[in-house]
Amino acid sequence: MNDARVPEEPVSCARCGRTADPLPVTWTCSVENGRREYICDECARDNLRAIEARLNPNWW
């Protein structure tokens, strides 16, 4: 089942550091090493193929 928790504090993009409050629906959420990471829409668009291929973020 989908765990749709909304973060209580401003979130930042794991790639570029951009921040947002509240969390935009266009951002992507990923679980890396047991913790949630958010990726802004611009970074997600730039790395879409890597995300869909489930490449390790270190390779993006």
Which conformational region is residue 49 in: left (phi greater than 0), alpha (psi within -120 to 50 degrees), or beta?
Answer: alpha
For the full predicted model, state whether its pTM sits above 0.85: no
- pLDDT band for position 57 (50/70/90)? low
Question: Mapping DSSP to helix (H, G, I), strand (E, B) and coil, where does residue 39 land?
Answer: strand
15 vs 44: CA distance, rounded Å: 9
Assess whether pLDDT exceeds 70 at residue 59.
Answer: no
Q: Could you give the 3-state DSSP secondary structure of residue 20?
A: strand
Is the model more confident about 18 or about 7? 18
pLDDT, mean over the chain: 84
What pLDDT sits at residue 4?
63
pLDDT band at 40 (very low <50, low <70, confident <90, very high): very high
Task: Report the distance separating Cα 4 and Cα 44, nearest Å.
Answer: 19
Q: Where are the domains of the chain?
A: 11-55
